[in-house]
Structure 1
Amino acid sequence: MADVIAAGYHAGRPGAIAAFRPAGAPPSRPPQIRPDAPAPCRGVRSEAMRRLSRRALAATLPGLAASPGRAQPVAAAYPAAPITLVSPFSPGGAADLAARLLARHAPPHLPNRQALLLVENRAGASGAVGTQFVHRAKPDGLTLLLARVASAAILPAIDIRTPYAWDEFTMLGLLEDTPFVVCVRADAPWDRLQDLLIVLREQPGRIAFSTTGPATIQDLGMRHLFATAGLPIDAGLAMPFRGGGEAVAALLDGRVQLLGTNLNEALPALQDGRLRGLVIGTPERLRVLPAVPTAREVELPALVGVTGWSALFAPPALAEPASQAWVAALAALRGDAAWQAAVRTTGGIPRLLPPEATRDYVRSQVALYRELGRRLGLI
C-alpha cells in the first residue's frame, strides 16, 4: 500500500491518491448496504474509517516525500571529513611542529576517533597569509589554524595593514609556550651574551641575524634585546626568511651569525652541539638545556616576558558541534602523557587553556606587543 501511495504522490498529485485495481480485474462494485442495517452504525463506521485513513495518509506522506522507501540518515560524528590544519609558516618551524603534534595526538579525543588532520603550510607576510585564509574559511570545523604569537598577536598589535583583527577568530584553546632563545654557531667567537653585545655596540650593523619577517618573535624579540641592552634597535642586520626552520638553517650554514627564536626550532642543533645558546627567556634554566643561562642571570630580566606560543583557532562563528568537540579534545590532552612528552621533547612547555582564558591571554599579549612596538618606535 505504501508503494501505491508513494507512486501517486510523486506523480505530482500529492492530494489525489488514485484507487488501486489490479490489471484485468473487473470494475469493483459499490458496497451493498443491507436495508435493515441500523443507520447510526453505518454512519459511525464510515466516519471512523475516513478519519483513520486521513490520519494514516498524513503520517505517511511526509516521510515518503523526504526519502521514498528508506530511513532518514543519522548525522555522522565530527569530523565527517578530513580537517585541514593550516600552519601559517614554512615546514620545520614552531607552528609546523606544533601542528604535526596536534594532528598526531588529537584524533583519539574527537567524537570520530578515526579523524584525519592534514597539516597545510601557507607561509607568507609574517604568517598573515595562512591566518587570513582560515579567517575567510567556511566555519564548518574542517579548516582550522595553528595560531602563533606573531600572526595572532604581534602583527595585529603593531601593523594597521593586518587584514584581520586579533579577536575575530573562534579561539578553541592555548596549546603550549615556546621559550625564546638567543643562539650562535658553536664555532662563533662569542661564548657569552656580553661578548656579543660588545661587538654589536662597537660595530653596529656588522652582525646579521635571522628573522621570519617583521612583527615576528624572531624580529621583535631581537630588537627588544638590543633596546634592553642599551643598543639601537637596528644594531644587527635583519635577514628575513619564510619560517623558523629556514632561519635556523641560515645560521647553521653561515648566511647569518645570530638568531633569536623559538626553542623548539633550534633545540636539535643546540642539543647536538652545532649551535650555542647564549640566553633563554625563562625564569629558570630548562632541563633540556641546563647549560644555557636565563635572562635574569645575564641581567636582562625584561626578556622573560618574550615568549612564543601556539593555540588552536577556527574561523569566526564556528559551528557549535565542532567547537564543543575541540574544547573537549583539548581538555583531554591534559591527561595525554604522550602528547605532553612530545611537546617537552621538542622544546615546548605544555600550557592548555580553555577558550575564554585563551582569549584573555591573547588580549594581554596584543597589549604587551603594542606597548613594546611603541617603545621601539615601530608604531
Structure 2
Amino acid sequence: MRRLSRRALIAALPMLAGPGTARAQAAASYPAVPVTLVVPFSAGGAADIAARLLVGHVRRHLPNPQGALLVENRPGASGAVGTQFVASAKPDGQTLLLARVASSAILPAIDPRTGYAWDDFTMLGLLEETPFVLCVRADSPWDSLRDLLAVLREQPGRIRFATTGTATLLDLGVRHLFATAGLPIDAALAIPFRGGGDAVAALLDGRVQFLGTNLSDALPPLRDGRLRGLAIGTHERLRILPAVPTAREAEVPGLADVTGWSAVFGPAALEDVPMRAWTIALAALRDDKSWQDGVRAAGGVPRLLGPEETRAYLRGQVALYRDLGRRLGLL
C-alpha cells in the first residue's frame, strides 16, 4: 500500500478526526484569511468612521484576534454599488457590509430600481444610531432654524444645501424638514457630493449654505466652532453639544424620526462559522467600554441588537421611509 507523504497526512488530519473536529478547528481559526468590510460610501463620512472604529475594536472578540480585518470603500449610487457588491459575494464570511440607513433601508423602500431587497442579507447586528443635525457655518446670518426657514420661504430655490443623493439621509432628512415646515420639497437647491465628509467640507468652504447630516459627519467642526447647529433630532440636548436645540425646541419634532445607523450584514445564507463568530463578537461589544466611548466621541449612540432584533428594526425602518417617500411624493 502506498504510504502518504507527511504533507498529505497533515492535510488529511481534519477529515480523519471527523467533521465535528474540522468544524471546531475552522471556528477557532476564523478569520484565517482577511475579511473585507465593505463601506458603501466614501472615506471620511459616518459609514467610514463607524467601520474603522468597529474593526479597531471587534477583532479582539473574534475567535482569531490576529486575523486581518480590512475596510474597503465602494461608494456610488447612494450606497447601492457597495451594498450590491456584498449581496453578490460568496457567503464564506470573507466579505461583509457596513450597512447604513440610506443604502439598506431608504433605497429598497423608495426606489424600485434597487437591485436588492432590504432582506437579501444575513443580518448580524445593529451597532449604533447617529442623530440627524441641521447646521450652517458659524458666520452664517441665520442664528436659528426659524431664521433659515424664513429665508427659504422668501427665496425658494435660491439657497443651496449639500446632499449625497436623492435616496440618502442627507437628502431625505432635509426634504422631510421642508414638508414638516409647510415648504415645497424643492425649497432649496440640492448640490450632490460623494459622501458625508465631502458634504461637510462643502459647507465649510461656502459651496453650500446649509446641511442636514449625521452628527458624526459634522461633530468636529460643530465642537470647534466652525459650524453652528440649528437643530438636532434627539429628545434631549446632547452633553457634547449643549447649545444645539432639540428638534422639539426648534419646533420641528418630526425631525427626530430621521436618524442614521450602522449595522453589519453578510451575504444571504452566510456560512455558520462566520455567522456565529460575528454574532458573538458583536454581542461582546456590549461590555466593551472603549468601543462605546469611541462611538459616543464620534457622535453616535451605541445600540447593539442581535440578528433577529436587527431584522425587526430594519423592517420598521423600511416601512418608515416607504411612508415618508409617499408623503413626499417620491413614490
Aligned residues: 319
Query: What displacement does 1:67 show?
Result: 6.9
Q: What CA distance in whole angstroms lies between the structure 1 residues aligned with 2:65 and 2:311? A: 28
> Helix, strand or coil: the match of 2:167?
coil
> Is residue 143 from structure 1 mapped to residue 95 from structure 2 by the alignment?
yes
Match of 2:2 among 6, 21, 36: 6
Name which of 306, 311, 331 aligns with 2:258: 306
Deviation for aligned residue 1:325: 0.4
Any conservation in 2 of the 1:205–1:234 contact (CA below 8 Å)?
yes
Q: What does residue 337 of structure 1 align with?
A: 289
Q: Deviations over 1:182-219 (max 9, x none)?
A: 00000000000000000000100111000111110000
Residues 124, 307 of structure 2: 8 Å contact kept: yes
Q: CA deviation at 1:300?
A: 1.1
Counterpart contact for 1:103–1:116, Cα < 8 Å = no
Q: Residues of 1 paired with 2:172 and 2:320: CA distance?
A: 12
Tell me how far 1:250 sits from its aligned partner: 0.5
Matched with 2:19 is: none
- 1:72 to 2:13 alignment: yes
Whole-Å separation in 1 of the counterparts to 2:237 and 2:270: 40
1:196 corresponds to: 148
Paired residue secondary structure (1:200): helix
User: How far did residue 240 of structure 1 move?
Assistant: 0.8
C-alpha change, 1:311 and 1:65, in structure 2 (3 Å) is same
- The residue aligned with 1:349 is 301
Unaligned runs of 5+ in 1: 8-63
**Larger relative contact order (Cα-Cα within 8 Å, sequence gap ≥ 6):** 2
Which runs of structure 2 are paired with 1:216-231 in the superposition (5 Å)?
216-231=168-183
The CA distance in 1 between the partners of 2:108 and 2:156, in whole Å, is: 29
Cα RMSD of the aligned pairs, angstroms, is 1.3
Measured after TM superposition, the shift of residue 69 of structure 1 is 4.8
Q: Aligned to 2:67, what secondary structure does the other structure show?
A: coil
TM (norm. structure 1) is: 0.82
Q: TM-score, normalised by structure 2?
A: 0.94
CA contact (8 A) 2:125 2:305 kept: yes
Partner of 2:121: 169
> Distance between the aligned counterparts of 2:245 and 2:67, measured in 1?
42
Residue in 2 that maps onto 1:271: 223
Please state if 1:371 is matched with 2:312: no
Please tell me the residue identity of whatever aligns with 1:337: K
% identical equivalent positions: 72
**Gap regions ≥5 residues in structure 2:** 15-21
Q: Indicate if the aligned counterparts of 1:94 and 1:244 stay in contact, CA closer than 8 A.
A: yes
Q: Which runs of 4+ in 1 moved over 4 A?
A: 64-71
Letter in structure 1 aligned against 2:2: A
Larger of the two Rg values belongs to structure: 1
Deviates more, 1:292-301 or 1:180-189: 292-301
Amino acid at match of 1:374: R
Q: Is the aligned partner of 1:111 residue 2:63?
A: yes
Amino acid at match of 2:82: G
Letter paired with 1:333? L
Contact 1:145–1:312 (CA under 8 A) maintained in structure 2? yes
* Whole-angstrom CA distance in 2 between matches of 1:327 and 1:69: 34
1:204-223 equivalence runs, <5 A: 204-223=156-175
